[in-house]
């Protein structure tokens, strides 16, 4: 157990330390001025010593990230399902969705502001815009690769289409769905930051704080803010991974945990017999 | 003489120009075990899919217990060489799959699943995911899932085709036991002549281009069948007849 | 495409020129014998405030001074100071607030001349607005004011609010570094925009909106009348290449005076040098004409800096906590390279 913990936490931590050391070595070794690039500890200090200012801004970014991600994921699943189910839509909608991703987000922001204002909405739209696409692509892919024999088996049983969809096609798409969600999760924070930087806001935001720090030659705050943004991104990604782990126990376990709802059921042996027809197999 | 469970009349199926199934007439008695042998492309699986309702025949009708079921699903048990267990469900939940796909799963469904699994030696694996099971165990679960649908007719399409010889033999004996216990009617596709003779009361031989039934053998070998059955002179004689039909280049 | 340059902390380069693109217009023949100078502008793309440099280039003032000047554009407005500090540019064009934060951050830069001598930063409202310097309190309360989030606007807004008798929480500051203040104003997204008159008015004229843009100059409501833009260099460059700096300023001064006397021809020079800048010649011409009055002080002098301008600015920056202390004015500037 502790060995596993060491491998899962210790090793990534060690590589972070090595990265920090390398950073320190470059800044010190090349005599890089503090207004060009700070040392790691200066960047961390720029975050901790301004925590009361940064935390509300970070909360704003987190809110945009989470809301945008949820909206994007829902849209992604919706588009994925309708395109996988209606071939005409796949042919007509898919190109439009691909086109939507070719639009530079920077170019998208100004019209969004004109329509949606300077509030949180345009940021959420930008995050959702970025997140939905990998989800859609993976859901379409997943749904179109569901084992047709399994779908046929459900048909032989007389299953209605919606039950086949919920019981067979949806769970069979879990893995590609989460691939899409994980890609989306890594993009979500980037989207929120781009949204904050490119669409303006009432008051400040994490991105604007960084822009200010940059124009004030406060490199420590620039790097520190970047670290904070990265931390938000990593945390969100890990939360999505944790969700995947929680909802796909069969990927890692060979035996299911005992679910609570089954506790009340009497043990086998007192139920009905399967031999409903009389025995007559023997000739 | 038992009543007729399944009756096919002039059932025909074409895929474009190719006739997958020439007009076929067939009656299967209730409680019997019928094997269908034939090379690939002889229309065995097409015949199965028509009976199961997955394919609608171009002509002819399918009757089950006298009722017309042509092109309709939901009236047979069905099992393939692929076990088609879903990896996200436990053994118990895989067994109750048919119920889950058509209605709410009840406590009675769960109890029955446990009972069947316990009776046929998988009681300890009820909460396992399929990935933890061997190929033979998975096929057993697949058959249990087919059994608890309570359909009188089971269509088994080469269910043991992917298993090794030893496991296959165990599974065959186990299938006979299940058949004896439950009294279901079994229609069993195989390309293995030994398997068809070991299991069935009646062996249908099919031939391709166009797919059709070319012979219908009654198999008088006594039950219960054991390893000795495989060396019985009647077994040898029947096998050579079937083999001649399959490989002798008749017609 | 009209946009103000003072504030825009543009996150991306404009279409006209790629980041750090180097443009040279000097003749190749004698270029080898001249001193190379890399000049860094403060915006990712060229606009009319570059007119004196273009005139100096095209009308031979640089060549006559023995200089071979290349004009470089930074990836964003906050990079020019760093380019100077690290030596990737020799002389640059920056705002006085850039100087303020650079000195505060310990960057070894030095302002060698004023570009403009006075403050033309202002508050703008749509035609028909009844806002004046007198009724700011009632007109501003609860209203949305656009800001690029730049240090200049941050330094100036408190003066306006103080004059209006309002606190920062009694107005809504909309911060949008990559937006367009004028578009936001005209479309009603904000109630007031903030910018300098030489950029805002040509943009307004170009938008063909009826009526007149309502302007309240910052200096009319308590903002200090200090220069906005300066020519700067690294301290080390100034000490090692004093003669080059002096030659550069001399050529630019002659070009500036010529451009102020011949605004139409000067603007045409700019339009010709940067046909893909995204601005029309009319915009460039009006912009340059509106810039000219601010290039000289009350005595008609160009370039000359004063202790007072830097002290006033430093105090303003300290009052909004952008810098930690007010240093001696000589830390910021020198007049010794003036022609």
Locate the domains of chain C by residue range: 22-117+227-331, 121-221
By C-alpha distance, the chain A residue nearest B177 is A281
Q: How confident is the model at residue C220 (pLDDT cuts 50, 70, 90)?
A: very high
Rounded to whole angstroms, how far apart are CA atoms C216 and C160? 10
Contact assessment for residue B11 and residue B62, using Cβ atoms and an 8 Å cutoff: yes
CA distances from A78 to A74, A75, A139, A186, A209 (A): 6, 5, 9, 20, 36
Whole-model pTM? 0.79
Between CA B109 and CA B92 the distance in angstroms is 10
β-partners of residue B248 are none
Query: Which of the four pLDDT bands, split at 50, 70 and 90, describes residue B8?
Result: confident
pLDDT at C18: 38
pLDDT of B91 over the 70 cut: yes
The answer to whether B197 touches B235, Cβ cutoff 8 Å, is yes
For residues B190 and B34, is the Cβ–Cβ distance under 8 A?
Answer: no
Q: C180 burial class (0-12, 13-18, 19+ CB within 10 angstroms)?
A: buried
- Residue A197 · residue C179 · CB < 8 Å: no
Q: Give the mean pLDDT of chain C.
A: 88
Going by pLDDT thresholds of 50, 70 and 90, the confidence category of residue C327 is very high
What percent of chain B lies above the pLDDT cut of 90? 6
Average pLDDT, integer, range A4-12: 81
> Mean of the pLDDT values across residues A94-120?
82
Find the residue in B nearest to A272 (Cα): B112
User: Taking a C-beta distance cutoff of 8 angstroms, is the pair B195, B239 a contact?
Assistant: no
Choose the CATH number for A51-245 among 3.90.1150.10, 1.10.357.10, 1.10.3720.10, 3.40.190.80: 1.10.3720.10
Mean pLDDT of C224-247: 95
In whole angstroms, what is the distance from residue A142 CA to residue A181 CA? 13
- Among A36, A201, A214, the residue with its CB nearest the CB of C175 is A201
- The Cα–Cα gap between B15 and B21 comes to 9
Interval A26-53 mean pLDDT: 92
| Selected residue of B117, B183, B226 to mutate for chain A interface (largest A Cβ count, 10 A) | B183
Query: How many angstroms away from the CA of A112 is the closest CA of chain C?
Result: 11
- Cβ C199 vs Cβ C283: under 8 Å: no
DSSP designation for B226: -
**Distance to chain B for A165, nearest Cα, Å:** 10
pLDDT at A261 over 60: no
pLDDT-derived band at A208 (thresholds 50, 70, 90) equals: confident
Task: Please determine, for residue A274, whether its predicted confidence score (pLDDT) is greater than 70.
Answer: no
Confidence of residue C117 (pLDDT cuts 50, 70, 90): very high
pLDDT band at A283 (very low <50, low <70, confident <90, very high): very low
Q: Residue C72: what pLDDT?
A: 93
Average per-residue pLDDT in chain A? 85
Q: What is the pLDDT of residues B186-236, one digit of tens each?
A: 999 988 888 888 888 898 888 888 888 888 888 888 888 888 888 888 888
Q: Which residues of A touch B76 (CB under 8 A)?
A: 156
- Give me the percent of chain C exceeding a pLDDT of 90: 68
Across the A:B interface, residue pairs with CB atoms under 8 Å apart total 139
CATH 3.40.50.300 fits C121-221, yes or no: no
**Which one of A106, A215, A219 has the shortest CB-CB distance to C12?**
A106
* Nearest one of C316, C317, C311 to C332, comparing CA atoms: C311
What is the C-alpha to C-alpha distance for residues B65 and B6, in angstroms, rounded to an integer? 6
Q: Regarding predicted confidence, which is higher, B17 or A62?
A: A62
Residue C157 has pLDDT above 80, yes or no: yes
Tell me the C-alpha distance between A56 and A206, whole Å: 9
- Mean pLDDT, range A203-227, rounded to an integer: 88
Residue B31 pLDDT > 50, yes or no? yes
* Per-residue model confidence (pLDDT) at position C125: 95
What is the radius of gyration, based on Cα positions, of chain C? Answer: 19
Respond yes or no on whether the N-terminal peptide bond of residue B210 is cis (omega within 30° of 0): yes
Residue A213, pLDDT > 50, answer yes
Q: Does C15 touch chain A (CB under 8 A)?
A: no
- Confidence class for position A276, pLDDT limits 50, 70, 90: very low
Contact: B112, A272; criterion CB under 8 Å:
yes
- pLDDT tens column, C73-93: 988 777 899 999 989 999 999
Which of B73, B88, B180 has the CB atom closest to A279's CB atom?
Answer: B180
**Whether the domain at C22-117+227-331 and the domain at C121-221 fall into the same CATH topology:** yes
**Residue C311 three-state SS:** helix
Query: In B60-86, which positions are buried (b, 16+ CB within 10 angstroms) versus exposed (e)?
Result: bebbbeeeebbeebbbbbbbbbbbbbb
Hey, which CATH number is domain C22-117+227-331, 1.10.1040.10, 3.40.190.10, 3.90.1150.10, 3.40.50.300? 3.40.190.10
- Work out the minimum CA distance from A217 to partner chain C, whole angstroms: 6
- What is the reported pLDDT for C260? 96
Q: Do C174 and A118 touch (CB under 8 A)?
A: yes
Burial class (CB in 10 A: 0-12, 13-18, 19+), C323: buried
Compute and round to an integer the Cα radius of gyration of chain B: 18
> What's the pLDDT score for residue B1?
55
Dist. CA C286–CA C267, nearest whole Å: 9
Per-residue model confidence as pLDDT tens digits over B32-47: 999 999 888 788 888 8
Q: Which of chain A's residues have a Cβ under 8 Å away from the Cβ of C77?
A: 215
Provide the pLDDT for residue C8.
44
Q: How many CB atoms lie within 10 A of CB A170?
A: 18
What's the rounded mean pLDDT across residues B134-156?
87
In a mutagenesis test of the A interface, which of B30, B52, B75, B127 is the best target, namely the one with the most A β-carbons within 10 Å?
B127
User: How far does the CA of residue B203 sit from the closest CA of chain A (Å)?
Assistant: 15
Say what the pLDDT of residue A259 is. Answer: 60
Question: Quick one: how far is CA A259 from the chain centroid?
Answer: 27
In 10 A of CB B239, how many CB atoms?
Answer: 16
What does the pLDDT read at residue C2? 36
% of chain C residues with pLDDT over 70: 91
Pairing label, strands B59-64, B67-68: antiparallel
pLDDT of residue A251: 86
Nearest one of A145, A154, A181 to A73, comparing CA atoms: A181
Is residue C102 scored above 80 in pLDDT?
Answer: yes
């Amino acid at each position: 157990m502790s060995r596993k913990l060491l491998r899962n936490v210790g090793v990534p931590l060690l590589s972070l330390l090595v990265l920090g050391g390398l950073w320190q070595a470059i800044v010190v070794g090349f005599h890089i001025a503090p207004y060009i690039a700070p040392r790691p500890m200066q960047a961390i200090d720029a975050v901790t010593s301004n925590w009361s200012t940064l935390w509300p801004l970070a909360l704003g970014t987190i809110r945009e990230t989470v809301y945008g991600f949820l909206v994007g994921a829902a849209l992604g699943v919706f588009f994925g399902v309708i395109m996988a189910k209606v071939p005409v839509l796949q042919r007509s909608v898919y190109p439009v969705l691909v086109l939507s991703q070719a639009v530079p987000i920077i170019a998208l922001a100004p019209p969004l502001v004109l329509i949606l204002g300077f509030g949180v909405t345009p940021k959420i739209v930008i995050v959702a815009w970025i997140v939905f696409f990998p989800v859609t692509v993976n859901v379409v892919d997943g749904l179109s690769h569901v084992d047709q024999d399994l779908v046929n088996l459900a048909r032989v049983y007389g299953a209605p289409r919606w039950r086949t969809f919920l019981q067979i096609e949806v769970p069979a798409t879990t893995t590609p769905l989460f691939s899409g969600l994980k890609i989306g999760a890594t993009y979500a924070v980037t989207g929120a930051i781009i949204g904050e930087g490119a669409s303006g806001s009432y008051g400040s935001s994490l991105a604007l704080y960084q822009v200010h720090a940059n124009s004030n030659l406060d490199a420590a705050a620039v790097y520190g803010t970047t670290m904070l943004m990265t931390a938000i991104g990593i945390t969100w990604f890990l939360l999505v991974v944790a969700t995947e782990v929680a909802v796909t126990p069969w990927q890692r376990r060979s035996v299911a945990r005992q679910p609570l709802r089954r506790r009340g059921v009497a043990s086998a042996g007192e139920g009905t017999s399967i031999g409903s027809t009389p025995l007559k197999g023997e000739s | 003489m038992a009543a007729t469970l399944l009756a096919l009349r002039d059932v025909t199926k074409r895929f474009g120009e190719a006739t997958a199934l020439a007009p076929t007439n067939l009656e299967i008695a209730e409680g019997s075990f019928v094997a269908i042998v034939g090379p690939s492309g002889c229309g065995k699986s097409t015949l199965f899919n028509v009976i199961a309702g997955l394919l609608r025949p171009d002509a002819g009708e399918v009757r089950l217990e006298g009722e017309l079921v042509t092109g309709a699903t939901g009236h047979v048990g069905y099992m393939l060489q692929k076990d088609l267990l879903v990896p996200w469900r436990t053994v118990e939940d895989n067994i109750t799959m048919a119920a889950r796909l058509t209605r709410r799963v009840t406590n009675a469904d769960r109890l029955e699943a446990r009972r069947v699994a316990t009776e046929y030696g998988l009681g300890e694996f009820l909460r396992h995911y399929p990935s933890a099971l061997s190929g033979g165990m998975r096929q057993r679960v697949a058959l249990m899932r087919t059994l608890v649908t309570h359909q009188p007719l089971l269509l088994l399409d080469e269910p043991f085709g992917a298993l090794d010889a030893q496991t296959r033999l165990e599974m065959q004996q186990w299938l006979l036991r299940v058949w004896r216990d439950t009294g279901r009617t079994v229609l069993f596709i195989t390309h293995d002549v030994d398997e068809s003779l070991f299991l069935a009361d009646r062996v249908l031989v099919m031939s391709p281009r166009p797919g059709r039934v070319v012979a219908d053998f009654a198999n008088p070998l006594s039950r219960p069948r054991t390893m000795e059955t495989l060396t019985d002179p009647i077994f040898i004689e029947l096998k050579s007849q079937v083999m001649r039909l399959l490989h002798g280049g008749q017609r | 495409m009209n946009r103000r340059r003072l504030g825009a902390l543009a996150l991306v380069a404009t279409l006209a020129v790629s980041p750090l693109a180097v443009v040279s217009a000097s003749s190749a023949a004698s270029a080898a014998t001249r001193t190379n100078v890399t000049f860094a502008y403060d915006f990712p793309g060229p606009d009319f405030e570059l007119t004196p440099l273009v005139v100096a280039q095209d009308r031979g003032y640089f060549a006559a001074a023995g200089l071979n000047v290349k004009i470089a554009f930074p990836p964003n407005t906050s990079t020019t100071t760093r380019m100077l500090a690290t030596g990737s540019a020799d002389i640059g064009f920056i705002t006085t607030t850039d100087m303020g934060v650079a000195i505060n951050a310990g960057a070894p830069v030095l302002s060698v001349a004023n570009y403009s001598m006075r403050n033309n930063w202002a508050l703008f409202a749509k035609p028909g607005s009844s806002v004046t310097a007198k009724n700011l309190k009632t007109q501003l309360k609860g209203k949305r004011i656009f800001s690029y989030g730049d240090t200049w606007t941050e330094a100036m807004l408190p003066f306006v609010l103080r004059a209006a008798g309002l606190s920062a929480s009694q107005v809504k500051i909309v911060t949008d570094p990559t937006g367009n203040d004028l578009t936001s104003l005209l479309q009603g997204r904000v109630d007031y925009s903030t910018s300098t008159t030489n950029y805002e008015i040509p943009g307004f004229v170009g938008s063909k909106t009826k009526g007149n843009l309502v302007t309240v100059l910052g200096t009319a409501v308590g903002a200090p009348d200090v220069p906005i833009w300066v020519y700067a260099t690294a301290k080390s460059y100034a000490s090692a290449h004093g003669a080059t700096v002096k030659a550069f300023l001399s050529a630019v001064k002659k070009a500036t005076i010529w451009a102020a006397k011949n605004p139409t021809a000067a603007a045409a020079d700019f339009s010709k040098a940067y046909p893909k800048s995204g601005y029309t010649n009319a915009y460039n011409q009006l912009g340059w004409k509106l810039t000219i009055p601010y290039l000289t002080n009350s005595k008609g002098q160009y370039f000359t800096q004063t202790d007072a301008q830097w002290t006033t600015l430093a105090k303003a920056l300290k009052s909004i906590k952008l810098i930690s202390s007010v240093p001696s004015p000589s830390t910021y500037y020198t007049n010794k390279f003036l022609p």
